[in-house]
A = this chain, B = another copy of it.
Amino acid sequence: MIHPVILCGGSGTRLWPSSRKAHPKQFAPLIGDESLYQQTLRRFAGPDFAPPLIMTGEEFRFMAAEQAAALGLSDAKVVIEPVARDTAPAILTAALILADDPEARMLVAPSDHVIGDLPGFLCAVAAGTGAARDGCLVTFGVPPDRPETGYGYLELAAEPVPGETVSLKSFREKPDQETAEAFLAAGTYLWNAGIFLFRVADVIAAFEAHAPDLVAPCRAAIAQGRADLGFLRLDAEGYGQAQAISFDYAIMEKAEQVAAVPLTGGWSDLGSWDAIWQARAPDADGVATDGPVTAIECSDSYLRSEEDGMQLVGLGLSGIVAVAMRDAVLVADKSRAQDVKAVVSALRAAKVAQADEYPRFHRPWGWYETLCLGGRFQVKRIMVKPGGVLSLQSHMHRSEHWIVVEGTAEVTIGEDVRLVTENQSVYIPLGTVHRMANRGRLPMYLIEVQTGSYLGEDDIIRYQDIYDRG
């Protein structure tokens, strides 16, 4: 059995507006109907794999658990990193959590990549397993098909052969164009995919040898951590004392027994919109589209609309990326895709909410989105998942009308508890203590119409909250 360790603490902004701080790339259905994180989980759902260990941030814990549960993976273990500390402390912590079985192998993978060829990937994992059994730290790399300057490279001792390990000479930073071309020509370089396989005991030993300062903080983070609503929440003080450093720097570049296995095609880190364009298999004119899009006489462009009811039309475009969402639209020169990160910084500096916020707000009980915001009213669409319970609360400045449009709500108003089902409504007067829950087995959808002089999210007095929020 291999223990998958899924790293999903990142909050990349280079795929804005689809990826934002409040809803990062790995949780977005960027390619296909499932999120990249879900696609990653699926990759490790076979009989050779133990339930996954998921390393994520405080703000993503419910999303990580919910998306895993949606795949039926109710035994996924979610570990909360209270502060971001890069990959080395995350991997060490995962290893320490699995240390009861030192012979166990762990496969560490980012949650935001795409792997087109699953059998090929599993083959490579099988090839790496032998080396890992011999005490190697195994990394996986992708044979380059172009002189890409956006990835780091693995320098090999020999030409890679599919299904076989090869020893590793060095790690190389993102190269310039000329160096990238030389790497491609040499045939002994792989793109560094950030995927690793090793025995738990071996990686802990490597940390003790090459990054001993990380060990005590990570041990403390686990020892002082606490189980919380099914999550393991690492202790913030302990984890915070670990240095933020990548696993490549801390371990792989220093360890002696390292090996690489080539992955077959179809891999992408989806690191920017031009990588998405590439992964979407553009047509003969170089045009790739997603969603309700009409492209007329375009070439070398990616057009994406994330709303069913939003028709995106491209006319005579060349080398353009356009991504349309309900609250934000990006139109960029495709060659500038790497600069989208800077765009988000500029929006953040200008205090544009869309820089970080996502139109659908995820909460432990489900999600909500604003349909219409007027001067003295707001209309929201709310989904409460089965078992979801909103906090017992009241508002100082607004009344609320709730109309259930799908499923059944259990509604508390003052002392009164009643069931409200499809096509029924209730009224929550200003100041009244109230709560909404879904005790059913299907998602419950309702429309909330708020009226009042102040409609901010912070007009809330919480009396009780099963999710332990402040």
Which residues of chain A have a CB within 8 Å of any CB of chain B?
Answer: 17, 292, 294, 296-297, 303, 305, 309-318, 320, 322, 324, 326-333, 335-336, 339-340, 342-343, 346-347, 350, 352, 354, 371-377, 379, 381, 399, 401, 403, 405-406, 422-423, 425, 427, 445, 447, 449, 451
Residues in B with CB closer than 8 Å to A347 are 294, 311, 313
B427 touches A451 (CB 8 A): no
Residues of chain B with a CB closer than 8 A to A451's CB: 403, 405, 422-423
Residues in B with CB closer than 8 Å to A423 are 399, 451
Contact A346/B294 with A311-B329, A315-B332 known, Cβ cut-off 8 Å: yes
A401 lies within 8 A of B403 (CB): yes
Query: With A and B bound together, what is the CA distance between A372 and B375 in angstroms?
Result: 19
**Do residues A315 and B329 form an inter-chain contact, with CB atoms below 8 A?**
no
CA of A365 to CA of B375, assembled, Å: 22
Q: Are B376 and A372 in contact (CB under 8 A)?
A: no
Which residues of chain B come closer than 8 Å to A297, judged between CB atoms?
Answer: 336
Measured CB to CB, the closest approach of chain B to A396, in angstroms, equals 15
Minimum CB distance partner of A334 in chain B: B316
**A405: B residues at CB distance < 8 A:** 374, 376-377, 449, 451
23 A-B pairs within 8 Å (CB atoms) are namely A292-B352, A294-B347, A296-B339, A296-B343, A296-B346, A313-B329, A313-B330, A314-B332, A316-B333, A316-B335, A316-B336, A317-B333, A322-B322, A329-B329, A331-B331, A372-B447, A374-B445, A375-B406, A399-B423, A401-B403, A423-B451, A425-B427, A447-B447
Residues of B within 8 A of A305 (CB): 329
Contacts of A445 in B (CB 8 A): 374, 377
Q: How far is the CA of A318 from the CA of B17 in the complex (A)?
A: 21
Using CB atoms, name the residue of chain B closest to A426. B425
How far, in Å, is A292 (CB) from chain B's closest CB?
8
Which residues of B are found within 8 Å of A377, using beta-carbon distances? 405-406, 445, 447
CA distance A305 to B352 in the complex (A): 14
| Contact flag A315-B331 (CB < 8 Å), given A379-B447, A406-B377 | yes
Cα separation A327 to B292 with both chains bound (whole Å): 11
Query: CA A314 – CA B332 in complex, angstroms?
Result: 6
Are B343 and A329 interface neighbours, CB within 8 A?
A: no
Least CB distance, A154 to chain B, in whole angstroms = 32
From A297, A318, A405, A427, name the one whose CB has the most chain B CB atoms within 10 angstroms.
A405
Q: By CB atoms of chain B within 10 A, which of A297, A313, A339, A422 has the most?
A: A313
A311 to B20 Cα, complex, angstroms:
14
A329 / chain B contacts, CB cutoff of 8 Å: 305, 310-313, 322, 324, 329
Q: CB-CB < 8 A to A320: which residues of B?
A: 317, 320, 331
Of B352, B372, B425, which is within 8 A of A381 by CB?
B372
Given contacts A314-B332, A317-B333, contact A379 B379 (CB under 8 A): yes
Q: Which residues of B contact A336 (CB under 8 A)?
A: 297, 315-316
Contacts of A318 in B (CB 8 A): 333
Question: Which residue of B has the minimal Cβ distance to A449?
Answer: B403
Q: Are A327 and B346 in contact (CB under 8 A)?
A: no
Instruction: Name A322's contact: one of B331, B333, B422 (CB within 8 Å).
Output: B331
Cβ contact within 8 Å between A330 and B315? yes
Task: Name A327's contact: one of B310, B327, B373 (CB within 8 Å).
Answer: B310
* Nearest-CB residue, chain B, relative to A297: B336
Nearest neighbor of A312 in chain B, beta-carbon distance: B329
Query: Given contacts A405-B376, A405-B449, A425-B425, is CB(A331)–CB(B314) below 8 Å?
Result: yes
Residues of B within 8 A of A315 (CB): 330-333, 336, 339-340, 343
Q: Which residues of B contact A449 (CB under 8 A)?
A: 403, 405, 425, 447
Nearest CB of chain B from residue A403's CB, rounded to whole Å:
5
Q: Are B406 and A376 in contact (CB under 8 A)?
A: yes
Output the nearest chain B residue to A451 by Cβ-Cβ distance.
B423
A331 partner, pick from B312, B343, B352, B374, beta carbons under 8 A:
B312
Q: How far is the CA of A425 from the CA of B330 in the complex (A)?
A: 39
Nearest CB of B to A87, in Å? 29
Whether B379 lies near A309 (C-beta < 8 A) is no
Contact status of A352 and B322, CB under 8 A, knowing A312-B331, A331-B317, A403-B449 = no
Smallest CB–CB gap between A200 and chain B, Å?
Answer: 45
Which of the residues B317, B326, B343, B374 comes within 8 Å of A313, measured between beta carbons?
B343
Known: A311-B327, A314-B331, A316-B333. A379 touches B376 (CB 8 A): no
